[in-house]
Amino acid sequence: MRHLLTLENLDRAAINRLLDRAERFRSEGAPRHLLAGRTVLTLFFEPSTRTRTSFVLAAKRLGADNVNFDLSRSSASKGESLLDTLHTLEAMHLDALVVRHNENGMPAYLAEHANTGVAVINAGDGTHAHPTQGLLDALTIRQRRPDFANLRVVICGDIRHSRVARSDVRALATLGVRDLRLCAPRAMLPESLADFPGCERTEDFDAALAGADVVIMLRIQKERMLDAQFPDPADYHAHYGLTAGRLALAAGDCQVLHPGPINRGIEIAAEVADGPQSRILDQVANGVVVRMAVLAELLAKPA
């Protein structure tokens, strides 16, 4: 593995190896000097709370130096100017570039043009992929239910615009999930994505929830749609909001995930987000160890 751009080319063994390593970091603590002398640069062209902070912490906890660039407020710099940025940063000798961008494929473009020796990690590109989120969601689910083949999983919300949904579907399918329901109003449900047997698309949230073991809720990606496409929040909540009453339709031990940021009262009720079945803060904690595992995999010198 030289870069981490999507989960498409990771098989089940490779995903489990990363998750096992993350789990060891969680239970045994971090080898503080594993990445000593390495430099990780975080380059975010879109806002982020969890993802960037956890990459920074992950780098630091393994002893790497971290440099953080916040470009989310700068005017769009694309194409040539982005390459110029890359080459400028490379001249400072970096080992990993963690990049978030609003355009699909931008991390892959940078990986193509990066010097050998620079690992590019996709921290979310447009609606395309968010591989470390897919991994941390898989780890969170696995901690309670390692039997992926027996799980009924529901992903509900703005799937059309969600890179998280795409990486989650990929991770879960690779790990053996055979019953996956993608649920959204028609405008937020993409044609593609139901790409394996047992993956169904539905607009009926109550029906989708019946017997679910895991439900992953998604934020409406307002920034990726026209204002006119944004639904009325109360109406959306009435049909697609996860309330305690709705959650009762799922299995009694159903785990509730959400990548954050959450919009309380729209896609998820506060009572559920803060309730006993919520794994939302576990996801955040797992995000740090998963990103440590990815950095270790890409940057650690063989022992």
Structure-token match 């990986």, residue found: 111
* Helices 106-113 & 79-90 angle (0-180, nearest 10): 50
Stated as kind and residue range, the H or E segment containing 5 is: none
Q: Which is nearer to ligand NCD, 34 or 215 (CB)?
A: 215
Separation CA 252–CA 235 (nearest Å): 27
Task: Give yes or no for a contact between 292 and 62, defined as CB atoms under 8 angstroms apart.
Answer: yes
CB of 237 to ligand NCD, least distance (A): 16
Return the residue of 152, 166, 170, 219 that touches ligand NCD, per CB under 6 A.
219
Q: Which residue is nearest to ligand NCD (CB)?
A: 219
CB of 47 to ligand NCD, least distance (A): 8
Enumerate residues 6+ apart whose C-beta is below 8 A from 130.
Answer: 51, 122, 123, 124, 163, 164, 166, 167, 259
- Residue 124 makes contact with ligand NCD by CB under 6 A: yes
Q: Which is nearer to ligand NCD, 96 or 165 (CB)?
A: 165
Closest CA relative to residue 269, chosen from 251, 252, 246, 290: 246
Cα 20 to its chain centre, rounded Å, is 18
- Residue 50 makes contact with ligand NCD by CB under 6 A: yes
Separation CA 263–CA 195 (nearest Å): 29
Enumerate residues 6+ apart whose C-beta is below 8 A from 257.
Answer: 137, 140, 141, 214, 215, 216, 217, 279, 280, 283
- Residue 161 makes contact with ligand NCD by CB under 6 A: no
Write out the binding residues for ligand NCD, residues 83-102 only, by CB under 6 A: none
Number of residues in the chain: 303
Return the residue of 133, 255, 278, 286 that touches ligand NCD, per CB under 6 A.
133
Closest CA relative to residue 299, chosen from 55, 1, 89: 1
Instruction: List phi, psi (to 5°) of 99.
Output: -125, 135
Return the residue of 236, 259, 273, 280 that touches ligand NCD, per CB under 6 A.
259
Q: Which is nearer to ligand NCD, 51 or 174 (CB)?
A: 51
CB of 89 to ligand NCD, least distance (A): 22
CB of 138 to ligand NCD, least distance (A): 15
Q: Which is nearer to ligand NCD, 86 or 290 (CB)?
A: 290
Return the residue of 107, 131, 241, 260 that touches ligand NCD, per CB under 6 A.
260
CB of 188 to ligand NCD, least distance (A): 13
- Binding to ligand NCD by CB under 6 A, coded x per residue (else -) over 51-90, reads x---------------------------------------
Q: Which is nearer to ligand NCD, 152 or 163 (CB)?
A: 163
Return the residue of 5, 164, 182, 247 that touches ligand NCD, per CB under 6 A.
164
CB of 209 to ligand NCD, least distance (A): 21
Handedness of CA 202, 195, 190, 274 (dihedral sign): positive
Separation CA 195–CA 170 (nearest Å): 9
Closest CA relative to residue 114, chosen from 154, 82, 146: 82
CB of 80 to ligand NCD, least distance (A): 26
Q: Which is nearer to ligand NCD, 34 or 125 (CB)?
A: 125
Question: End-to-end alpha-carbon separation of the chain, Å?
Answer: 17
Binding site for ligand NCD (CB under 6 A): 50-51, 124, 130, 133, 163-164, 219, 259-260
